[in-house]
Structure 1
């Protein structure tokens, strides 16, 4: 049978067009999904010891019990403004060396200064040792702090030297100080001295809640708690780099990672040993596996330096890291070590607020404060371990979230 050459050529051209079209679809739509995510050039590969990344089909990606990010809640407050002129008096205070206390300390003094009409002196930050002090600007963005409080209280970066030389009377006040306490215990002293140093006490027996009818004080507190504290740019860049590295390593979970507040020295304290909610590395590993997290899940631990007791956790989740492994090498000298332990605390705190999932291994003020920040961000996947048989992650969501009984909910709608 005779073959028409023109028909043969037409068939070849048609087939070639289909092949070209197929390659275009693969290149533009499929290949980007299959390529490994780029890893930050600052990652220390010899320290990470991660499993070798491979090419994964979409059907093979294991998500685990991930929850989509909620929309950030809307603030319920309207930023108040000055009423009348402020006095010439000053309120001084220092922040503790633990970042989980800072927002509450600032909220307390802002409420006090506002009610007294006082100027707020820019605080310093206490170190781990009694005589150690850091400047506020070493950790936080000073300009943002002052700008946020503009219209609420006046902030002075350089108060008169004669007022801040240690001769200012110190007044200890409860957290969430009430207006009645201010009027009866603080105002009389302030009228006489015109300068006070405020120390906020977090003893549960002295903590006082403000009444629901005191909406103005609540507005001051909310602004101070959630808008004043931003890391200074260099430190923020380090945190952002570490978050980016973890997301790059989290290939199978689409850039998601879990942060676990697990510090070996805390687990060994008597208070933790007596607590029903206190979990070591092996127990955390078993728990996360039970509720559905895949072995390829990337985990960040607040532990400083690797401890052999954490090996059992890494056996279950090989991509488990401490800050030592993912901090940019050129920043370690500044932000890690015995002289820089306070920096490490801040890095851990903000890493836990940025993670897709937060898991506290023990009860603490750190847990409470991280939850508050996460509520403000809409990151409500906070899982608290417990000894029960359920394998559903939803059965372990923090009571702060399920019951909406965290104080942050009074600030957001």
Structure 2
């Protein structure tokens, strides 16, 4: 009789029966039903290890391998799917029968009180004592970073009883704008507005220049700490000022604490909201642009319009390390931009960057499409006048097309002003930003999409002008990416979620400054006074 011997290492024929018995026993105990998949897989692995895989079923081997190699699906909100969602929702957006434009009803919140400026009542002067010397500061960064430096310098000069020299602007490697103070701001108006509170001069007197060989870098540079207190300036800077007659602080960026004594806060208010106004060329063109925007929208909305600060320039997209739907080409362009701008910063040892985590965390710049979908969901229809404040949009032909489809009445600097009018502003990013700032300041609704100093100052300035309400949409991007993650979301549900966001922005429009907040963003109560029941003096 011929007997077939089992090959060494092959599993016995009873193995499948053993597995079946294990599963049957487990199924009888409902309390451990959820452990069935894990126990089954464990049994497979155990038997494979005991008898080897040489004689195992190919299906078993493939199943085990796939189970361990299968990549888990991305968490909700991790991947850019906004284009797919738009494709699904666009027919419903067009067919929406709701004819009430949110532009006319966006702001319903009533705090029960109105706020108004009272700087002139709070900032009083009984005459200035003799000056203790000259304060020279260097403002760096872009337009609004420079603005922080200027206003903080006014407060420090007031504290030290120093004469402030018109601030110098450092040529920033990112902004690359060689403009001086007088190119952006009205020097004479600035000096005149502060004359009863802080002395300001355009240049150092000749005798002091001779003392330092006409070289400002020879003047002692006091490298102050960030967010320094009043006592720091009195103890560290004032003695040197009294001894030498002049001190220099460079750089002077965020060198004063958010919370200081009331008199210094009021000087900050006076400098930012009253003394600083743009130079005449900027003011004249900006006012023309506002007038043209209002005129275009007069018949549709009484001249009201929405402004959007859109941060989707190439450097912003690259720095965010987020992924969109441009594929390999986009990834290569972003890698080149990162290396060009930051030289290996994103490849340092130990640095882990996750585009998926960035998107879920709300750190990715919104695309023009995402901004447009959000606004349409909030109730701003295609008759809304929309102004877009931005630099050069990355891959504008692709990314701006759907926003124009959603909002045909879209305007920019380039459409509201002629090429000849804009010519003096070209290659001067801060002057162009000043035009955008003015357009956004006077809009009925302002939309911020990525944070930064521009919306920080603008929201505060709008609160100062509009009775304490910022009239600003500041979306929760961590929630927004979840709604843009589902291509099957219904239009009515999407609208409901967007309108909830609008109501939340309305409720957050009023806000008092907290100890760690900046008064440039929250001017109440330092720069404004409340009037019960909306009654003003």
Query: Common fold, TM-score beyond 0.5?
Result: yes
Residue equivalent to 1:87 = 131
| Separation of aligned partners in 2, 1:262 and 1:117 | 41
Q: 1:62 Cα shift?
A: 4.0
What is the number of equivalent residue pairs in this alignment? 349
Residue equivalent to 2:435 = 347
Alignment partner of 1:411 out of 527, 530, 534: 527
Residue equivalent to 2:454 = 366
| Separation of aligned partners in 2, 1:361 and 1:349 | 15
| Separation of aligned partners in 1, 2:273 and 2:282 | 19
CA contact (8 A) 2:163 2:199 kept: yes
Question: Aligned pair in 2 of structure 1 residues 121, 267: CA closer, same or farther (>3 Å)?
Answer: closer
Q: 1:373 Cα shift?
A: 0.9
Alignment partner of 2:503 out of 370, 395, 402: 395
Residue equivalent to 1:298 = 385
Residue equivalent to 1:50 = none
Alignment partner of 1:247 out of 294, 300, 309: 294
* Alignment RMSD: 3.0
What TM-score results when the alignment is normalised by the length of structure 1? 0.75
Q: Which runs of 5+ in 1 are unaligned?
A: 1-59
Residue equivalent to 2:84 = none
Residue equivalent to 2:240 = 189
Residue equivalent to 2:87 = none
After superposition, the C-alpha distances for 1:132-163 in whole angstroms (9 at most, x for unaligned) are 64332211111210111111111112313525
After superposition, the C-alpha distances for 1:5-51 in whole angstroms (9 at most, x for unaligned) are xxxxxxxxxxxxxxxxxxxxxxxxxxxxxxxxxxxxxxxxxxxxxxx
Residue equivalent to 1:57 = none
| Separation of aligned partners in 2, 1:159 and 1:230 | 23
Alignment partner of 1:149 out of 175, 194, 211: 194
| Separation of aligned partners in 2, 1:374 and 1:197 | 33
Which protein shows a greater Rg? 2
Note if 1:75 corresponds to 2:118: yes
Question: Aligned pair in 2 of structure 1 residues 304, 243: CA closer, same or farther (>3 Å)?
Answer: same
Q: 1:224 Cα shift?
A: 1.5
Q: 1:198 Cα shift?
A: 2.3
| Separation of aligned partners in 2, 1:110 and 1:354 | 26
After TM superposition, the structure 1 = structure 2 runs for residues 285-324 of structure 1, keeping only pairs within 5 Å, are 285-305=372-392, 307-308=396-397, 309-324=399-414
| Separation of aligned partners in 1, 2:225 and 2:146 | 14
Note if 1:210 corresponds to 2:259: yes
Indicate the SS of the match to 1:263. coil
Q: 1:69 Cα shift?
A: 11
CA contact (8 A) 2:306 2:443 kept: yes
Indicate the SS of the match to 1:397. helix
Note if 1:178 corresponds to 2:223: no
CA contact (8 A) 1:174 1:208 kept: no
After superposition, the C-alpha distances for 1:95-123 in whole angstroms (9 at most, x for unaligned) are 33522123321222112212222111112
Q: Which runs of 5+ in 2 are unaligned?
A: 1-98, 323-357, 481-496, 514-520, 530-537
What TM-score results when the alignment is normalised by the length of structure 2? 0.59
| Separation of aligned partners in 2, 1:61 and 1:318 | 18
| Separation of aligned partners in 2, 1:107 and 1:400 | 26
